[in-house]
Structure 1
């Protein structure tokens, strides 16, 4: 076969006519990918109505489904998480890491700082605010199980607490996000396929991705994204309300009215942000978030004591290295409470969120090489998280170990307030608590905004320029679901929603493993194509 003929065949391999497999309707100025939009909307409506009518039984049913997956597939979850980390690290060092997302001449759309701020804010910024203190202190005080059954309230428990916390927030979750983000970015920008989950399976399924199989994949992605965002918005409203109650000494009560008011406020701000677009909305808010988080971090480091910070920085780093392999081993585990209640829960949660976070990261990552992309998505966030946990978690852990304040006397009494309990023992507690509340709320705005962009893209068949009215629709729906379930079902309603989101983790774990195969096939094809073009 001649070089020119070889080049022609390589180019034609991914030359598809996506419009032939798409059925669009356009009511009220919307651009809807009919099967995905309609079926997802109906399923969401049925779930919300059913949960409001019988919140207790609905919560129990979803809890049983979640427990079934977490108990019977714990081995699969842990092994899959390990494979994702190894896969991403391998791609960084392979020659295919030089491939640029969008082609050799593609240029990044955003500056490196703005790009990193957006992917970090969307990925887990809000979680780090909530769990940075609660998780390590909780492990140390045996609040809800200890890693590998290490005895609580001991020096060994301090190391285990920091190591296990980093294990849950370090390489593994970002590798999960990285797999989805890389697959979407590559097949969208290099192969010209729509920005939707089904596109990542084109090397495996061919034209069938535009049929029923592709519809099912995208519907699962929409449900997981919307349920995850609405759950976080509901629980986040409870945390913010608890913080306001604590800050104002009860003047603003952490009641239902306050929680729904917070949801309305966050939704309104997200609405403004989404109408301004990525450059005028998410990018600006993400930069503000990172700046405010940096100020809070620097304050805690300096006021909490440089010696304390560097001590826990060393402890966190070495403990992460010490515990990453034992905690990654599913064989012979006896710490069932910790293993299922924390690690398997986290892995299912990260996987269920991966369509949302992965697609948003892909949306803003054109022009980066595969190596640059995975380094930024995998390595840099892990390093930043080590610093963040060493400062906030380290101060909380020190207070618990030395009997200082509420954490020292009572441990974790309310996870919503753990960050505020830690800040309460530092100077300017009212100011830092207020900054923390603002950070929580703005992180939720960016999550809601970026989430609506993702759902909009999926339900519009992967288009990047769907009508603004459609993005507005999804922002409003996210807020409505959270508010309605909170009003009608309270904690039971939100727990049912959370369990439903987590239950999607197992089928998506299988989807992510297949994505890895698809990525290898796609990158290998791209490398051959580039080589053939240079020779032609």
Structure 2
């Protein structure tokens, strides 16, 4: 490649590396062998160990997770704050004018479709699972209260609203934005492969195509596959809880396996159809169903209380964002470590997957458009969603209505328990189950596309069988973990993913420096 600036306004790097030049072909696959083989060996070793020795694996990996969280809580918190400030700075500075793909690049997807895809991949399933359980848990002190306030008091309600938004607002989306923007910029503006290692080219140069880059990509693949597999396993447990609650279908291991097989089958069809015919279509369907469900709850629920909750959630978020961002002298250790630091490590472990997928669908957007869409708009949507679902749940708890009056007994049932105290329970619960399952399909789809891209050395046109392979593997891992060790085995692999979040946090800080240097090398094109 030449470092001559093309007519399109792309300032490419002068690198001799070509996408796919080190790939090997076997059994119909086209992969970058060091990344593919190393990732596969580590993944199967972890899974086999978790199945054969679930208790030992859980103890070992949970210990590693606790060590990371307890000893590096300050590091996770400081880094999260840096990512938010970095993103807000990019919105305000002239660097925000830079367009992903060059000065003449055009957006490949409509704004609504673009947002639907990034939201479905990023947090859709999490909002379904925790929008009811989390604020109720904080209010009732199910596992600690923010700032150690007394549970079931007005202060606890205010803190619950602020903490819920804190965990689903600016900070997690800033984590995704940093990774997504870095990958999109270096791929579309600098002509590098769309893979994690490319974001470090300004600092490491040609070394990113060697051992350093292999390590970065392997960490990213492992974090992604572990995160997706555990989420699929836990999601199957939530879906079967809903099916049992609604239809009386036994909540057994076999039901959970059937759910995983069904989700995986749909994911295979979707991922085989590619980005346009699969993920894009399902993401749009997701958002339509989600919007319809939210609107229905607003209409049939206590409409006035829901709108009041929106104001309360917003004010509590603004009031508590700085105290909750603080890591010095925190006395609410159970809440602080068990929720906030855990979440930050979890979001960071997911950032290679979500960030790379967002990058893949964001060509043609300016840096400012990208940050606003990935950081600010999802925060507003999360505020509205949490106000509708969480606000309705808190009202039920306060007034002693329904099963939630006794607090959280099973987080996977919380949403369905809230629906039970509203009209047309069967319909809302059924739609909720469908929405959970479709969100899992889109997560599996987008994750398969991302892992395929990383293990193929940045190729976006690798054989279809590779995408199908990763989608199938996610389902097999989830089933194997459930059969071999149940929630204990799933928890062990989740702990491994969270532990990986620690080294990747450091990589993300380096990524910020690298992106800053890269953006400054292009700003002259926009003057």
What is the TM-score of this pair, normalised by structure 1?
A: 0.96
Which of the residues 332, 336, 341 maps onto 1:335?
332
Report the secondary structure of 1:404's partner residue: coil
Other-structure match for 1:515: 511
Residue matched to 1:479: 475
**Aligned pair 1:493/2:492, yes or no?**
no
Q: In structure 2, what is the Cα distance between the partners aligned to 1:487 and 1:252?
A: 19
Aligned partners of 2:19 and 2:459 also within 8 Å: no
Please tell me whether residue 34 in structure 1 is matched to residue 33 in structure 2. yes
TM-superposition CA deviations, 1:373-414 (whole Å, max 9, x none): 000000000001100000100000010111111111x11011
Question: Match for residue 56 of structure 1?
Answer: 55
Give the alignment partner of residue 373 of structure 2, picking from 368, 372, 376.
Answer: 376
Is residue 258 of structure 1 aligned with residue 276 of structure 2?
A: no
Q: How does 1:318-467 map to 2 (within 5 A)?
A: 318-408=315-405, 410-467=406-463
What is residue 227 of structure 2 aligned with on the other side?
Answer: 228
Q: Secondary structure at the match of 2:251?
A: coil
Gaps in structure 1 of 5+ consecutive residues: 532-536
Cα-to-partner distance string for 1:100-119 (whole Å, 9 max, x where unaligned): 00011111111100000000
Q: CA deviation at 1:14?
A: 1.1
* Helix, strand or coil at the partner of 1:477: helix
Q: Assess, with a 3 A threshold, how the Cα gap between structure 1 residues 172 and 11 changes in structure 2: closer, same or farther.
A: closer
Q: Which moved more, 1:100-109 or 1:221-230?
A: 100-109
1:97-176 pair list within 5 angstroms? 97-176=96-175
SS at match of 1:88: helix
Preserved contact between residue 300 and residue 391 of structure 1 (Cα < 8 Å):
yes
1:183-202 equivalences under 5 Å are 183-202=182-201
Per-residue CA deviation, residues 502-530 of structure 1 (Å, 9 max, x unaligned), is: 00111010000000001100000011355
Q: Is the 8 A contact 2:19 2:193 kept in 1?
A: no
Q: Distance in 2 between matches of 1:396 and 1:45?
A: 41
Change (3 A) 1:15 1:398: same
Note the alpha carbon deviations across 1:358-386, whole angstroms, 9 max, x for none: 00000000000000000000000000110
Cα root mean square deviation, aligned: 1.6
Which residue of structure 1 lines up, in the alignment, with residue 290 of structure 2? 293
Match of 2:205 in 1: 206
Contact 1:98/1:370 (<8 A) preserved: yes
Equivalent pair of 2:10/2:189 in contact (CA under 8 Å) = no
Whether 2:14 is the aligned partner of 1:15: answer yes
Q: Runs of 4+ in structure 1 displaced over 4 angstroms?
A: 4-8, 10-13
Q: Distance in 1 between matches of 2:393 and 2:470?
A: 38
8 Å CA contact 1:245, 1:253 repeated in 2: yes
* Structure 2 residue aligned with 1:504: 500
Specify the alignment match of 1:246 in structure 2: 245
Number of positions where the alignment pairs a residue of Structure 1 with one of Structure 2: 524
Q: For residues 235 and 104 of structure 2, what CA distance do their matches in structure 1 show? A: 42
Q: How far does residue 492 in structure 1 lie from its aligned partner after superposition?
A: 1.1
- For the 8 Å contact 1:22–1:210, the answer to whether it is kept is no
The unaligned stretches of length 5 or more in structure 2 are none
Shift of 1:455: 0.2
Shift of 1:23: 2.1
Change (3 A) 1:6 1:466: closer
- Give the Å deviation of 1:7: 10
Aligned equivalents of 2:307, 2:264: Cα separation in 1: 39
Distance 2:101 2:177 in 1: 17
Residues 1:524 and 2:520 aligned together? yes
